[in-house]
Amino acid sequence: MSGAARVFDLAEVSRRELNQALHNAPDGESFKIVNPRGAHAVACGIAAAIDVVVRGSVGYYCAGMHQRGRILVEGNASTGLAENIMSGVVRITGNATMSAGATGCGGLLVVGGNAGARCGISMKGVDIVVGGNVGHMSAFMAQAGNLVVCGDAAADLGDSIYEAQIFVRGDVESLGADCVPKEMRPEHLDTLARLLAAAGGATDGANAGDFRRYGSARRLYNFIIDDVDALHAAAAAGTATAIR
C-alpha cells in the first residue's frame, strides 16, 4: 500500500467518480468507501492490485468483473456479488443474496454469513467459501472451481453440475440432477484445508475433516436414446418438459 487510504464518501460523490478513480489507481494504493447505503455496482471491474474497504452494505453487483486486488465489504450485499470475478479476492463480513460469485472464472470469494439462492451458479473456476448456509440451486451448472459451505445447503444443490467440487459441513436438503456424494480423498482434503485457511475467521474454526464432498455423476455428458422415448411419453401426457 502507498500511504493512507483515499476516502470516498458516496453521500457526496457519485459511483461513477468512485469507480473511475479505482480504475485509474496504480498498484499498491488503498481506498476506503463510506456511506455506500446499498448502492449498486460499487467497486466493479478493478484491474489493479489495490485494496478497497467498503464500510457498510451494498446493492447489486458489487465487485462485479473483479480482476485484481482485494475488496472487503463490512456489511451485506445484494444480488450478483463478485459476478464474473476473474482473480483477486472479494470478502464480505455479512450475508449475500442471490447469485453470489455467478459465472466466476477465478479468484476467491468469501461470504462471512449466509448466501442466498444460486450461489456459484455456472462457476467456471472461482473458489467460493461461505461461512453460513447457501440457498437453493447453489452451484447450478457449476463447471469448475470449488464451493465450500460451512453451514447447510438448501434444495437442488449442484443441479446439472459439471466438474466443480462442492464441500458441505452441514446438512443438504436435496441434491440436484446428476449431483452425487463423492469420496473425500487426500487431494480434496488438501484443497479444502487451503481454502479454509485462505477464508480465515469466516469459517468459524471448521476443519477439512468435517466436510462431505459432492460432484458430478457424469450421466448428463452423453446422449441416451432411452431419454427420447421418456420425453415423448411425458410430452404426450402433458407432464415433464425435459429429461435430465
First to last CA, the chain: 50
Reported pTM: 0.90
**CATH 2.160.20.60, domain 6-218, yes or no:** yes
The neighbouring-strand residues paired with 212 are 168
Residue-wise pLDDT tens digits, 113-134: 999 999 999 999 999 999 999 9
Give pLDDT < 50 ranges for the chain: 1, 240-244
* Torsion sign across C-alpha atoms 184, 186, 191, 196: positive
Domain residues of the chain, as ranges?
A: 6-218
Q: Within a 10 A sphere around the Cβ of 83, how many other Cβ atoms?
A: 22
Could you read off the pLDDT of 150-179 as tens digits, one per residue?
999 999 999 999 999 999 999 999 999 999
> How far apart, in whole angstroms, are the C-alpha atoms of residue 233 and residue 238?
9
